[in-house]
Amino acid sequence: MGIPDVPHSPHSAPSRAATWFATRFAATARFASAARLASAAAAAAVLGAACGPTPTPPGPPSAGEATAVSDREHDQDQDPRPLRHTPVGPLPAAAPLTTVGPDGELVDPVESLQALLDAGEIVFSHDSVTGWLPSVLATLDIPVSSQALVFSATSLQATRIAPWVPRAIYFNDDVYVGYVAEDVIPMDERILEIASIDPDDGGVFYFLSQDPEQPPRFVREGQTCLQCHEAGITEDVPGVMVRSVLTDRNGYPIHPLQDAATTDRTPMDRRFAGWYVTGTGGGPHGGNVWSPDRFSDIDLPRRAAYADAFDYAAGADVTRLAGRFDTSIYLSEHSDFVALLVLAHQTRIHNLITAAHERTEGALRDQEAARVTRGVEVAEGELLPTTEVAIDAAVERLVREMLFSGAVPLDGPISGTSGFARDFSARGPFDAEGRSLRDFDLETRLFRYPLSFLVYSDAFDALPPIASERVYARFEEILTGTDRSPEYEHLDGPTRAAIHEILLATKSAYTEAVGSG
């Protein structure tokens, strides 16, 4: 696989970050398996093995014992140490982004932001510790409270991630930003990783050099990211995912707690291994702990059983991370439990929206090919039975999971630590009674009105009409009680009615599709 060209300013040489990125592409590609790195965990394990002996983690994580203690006695709002970053100028405001390009084509939010940067309408401020990160979050309107910290070495920057230097993920409805806090790495060798959702095409991947001497430029990347981000775990479409992976004391993956991505259907005790989790309630989960053993000391055939037998219980109810690593080089001290629950939900729904889009367009192309090449007669506006089946299957999967069918009940109450729940809920939209699909429950389920808020996303709105019409029709059947099949029995009558009323008040396309009754 060739290395993609890395565009740069015609007035300057490529940054050292771009050079490092291309080198890492080559290294990652060398280790790619016939399965195209079916999981990021597998790739990171290979990279870890290639790095030779690893150092003992510094600080509180003892090399000889798993680390996870309850911090319930600490005040979760206490922040005894100020962050060390110093911006050189004021942060920009949220950018007026559009998903429609100059030629009328749909574009992702980062492409829209780059156009504003190129036009000089947005100016980034560089931070002495976190680089362009605060400006990126500010212009994309991504809340700092969304910060989630992952210490499993499972990304392109695997060799720069460990329990003592976790990777931070920040997100909103459409964009995910990855930041590795590399205090000892020169700024011009650092990068931000970005996944942005294109309404038509799904996940689009970029990196941004942190070099303050270069103008900020989001460089689009393709094949290397798609080795992991377009596979079975993402529904075979360009997408995003949350994994749950038991690691050793250095962050190298031992084994995933499940082969699939973490979603609303994943039992809580199988979620968030390899992540820090700050919050209380919910029962045992996999966060905040790692094995005292090195992954290379555990025979490959034993790793699945080892991960299954590992005791994760000590990771629950952690509310502070200070003392585990240097939190001052991050924008927040938190890795919010509620943010992680939303992250697992929306990554899955993003992939299913993209899959429904692609399957629908693929079925329509197949029908047209049958008409042209085989002379199959199809009346205008009609669908072949095979086309109907393909579209309905994709739509039904999307409807089920947008309505949280099969979601594992929560053992609440659950609370986070960063204020994410407040920030997220405030985004609305709201009906006349002040109700929103973003209202949390956090007692027995994630949301009070369980229909995914991504119904308001640009990607959902870009579904082919023949798919969106079917989605809306299914919503109406279920929410008005016409469909009372067992897979929706978690929705009682008042909840169905409330969701229906919220949709009618806040989603004009739904009202147009089903009427106002």
- Please report the pLDDT score of residue 297 as a whole number: 93
Residue positions counted in the chain? 517
In angstroms, the first-to-last Cα distance of the chain is: 56
Write out the H or E segment, with its range, that includes residue 45: helix 40-50
- Please report the pLDDT score of residue 66 as a whole number: 39
Pair 489, 495: CB distance under 8 Å? no
Burial environment of residue 32 by CB neighbours within 10 A (0 to 12, 13 to 18, 19 or more): middle
Pair 131, 152: CB distance under 8 Å? no
Cα 266 versus chain centre, distance: 16
- Give Cβ neighbours of residue 472 (< 8 Å, ≥ 6 apart): 509, 510, 513, 514
- Please report the pLDDT score of residue 239 as a whole number: 80
Would you give per-residue pLDDT tens digits along the chain (517 residues)?
A: 222 233 333 333 345 555 444 444 443 333 333 322 333 333 333 223 323 333 333 333 333 333 333 332 333 333 443 445 555 567 888 888 888 877 878 889 999 999 999 999 999 999 888 999 999 999 999 999 999 999 999 877 888 899 999 999 999 999 999 999 876 788 888 999 999 999 998 889 999 999 999 999 999 887 777 567 667 777 678 788 899 999 999 999 999 988 889 999 999 999 999 999 999 999 999 999 999 999 999 999 999 999 999 999 889 999 999 889 999 889 999 999 999 999 999 999 999 999 999 999 999 999 889 888 888 887 878 899 999 999 999 999 999 999 999 999 999 899 999 999 999 999 999 999 999 999 999 999 999 999 999 999 999 999 999 999 999 999 999 999 999 999 999 999 999 999 999 999 999 999 999 987 6
Q: What is the largest CA-CA distance in the chain?
A: 74
Report the C-alpha gap between 324 and 345 in whole angstroms.
28
- In DSSP terms, which residues pair with 287 in a beta bridge? none
> For residues 183-204, b (16+ Cβ closer than 10 Å) or e, as one string?
eeeebbbbbbbbbbbbbbbbbb
Cis check for the bond before 429: say yes or no (omega within 30 of 0).
yes
- Please report the pLDDT score of residue 221 as a whole number: 83
Residue with tokens 């060799």: 159
Report the C-alpha gap between 246 and 479 in whole angstroms.
39
> For residues 134-165, b (16+ Cβ closer than 10 Å) or e, as one string?
bbbbbbbbbbbbbbbbbbbbbbbbbbbbbbbb
- Please report the pLDDT score of residue 420 as a whole number: 96
Write out the H or E segment, with its range, that includes residue 364: helix 337-374
Alpha helix locations (H) across 375-451? Answer: 385-402, 420-425
In 3D, which of 327, 17, 300, 296 has the Cα closest to residue 156? Answer: 17
In 3D, which of 223, 219, 225 has the Cα closest to residue 114? Answer: 219
Pair 280, 315: CB distance under 8 Å? no
- Please report the pLDDT score of residue 361 as a whole number: 94
